[in-house]
Amino acid sequence: MPLPKENKKYTYADYLTWPEGERYEIIDGVPYNMSPSPSRKHQKVVGELFAYIHNYLKGKTCEVYTAPTYHRFLSNHYPQ
């Protein structure tokens, strides 16, 4: 399948057919072209935030993860 076009709603199944190396995120059926890899400064800030939140959540039922991770939220669990 070619890369996404404007004015069409896309699904996770569509996303799986797109070429590797192209970074897209689908929000409410709309594909968004993602930016290139983050800078070193950005990664440093993310690392510090992760450490802070990770330490705060120790012993709690929540967990924190660093990027990249892929998420698929089911609309019946997350009302809009």
Of 18, 43, 44, 46, nearest to 31 (Cα)?
Answer: 18
Upstream peptide bond of 68 is cis (omega within 30 degrees of 0): yes
**Secondary structure element (H or E) that encloses residue 30, with its range:** strand 30-33
* CA pair distance 49, 55, nearest whole angstrom: 10
Show pLDDT as tens, one digit a residue, over the chain (80 residues). 456 666 788 888 988 888 887 788 888 888 888 877 778 998 899 999 999 999 999 999 888 888 666 666 555 554 44
- Predicted confidence at residue 57, as pLDDT, reads 94
- Predicted confidence at residue 66, as pLDDT, reads 80
- Predicted confidence at residue 69, as pLDDT, reads 66
Are residues 50 and 57 in contact, defined by beta-carbon separation less than 8 angstroms? no
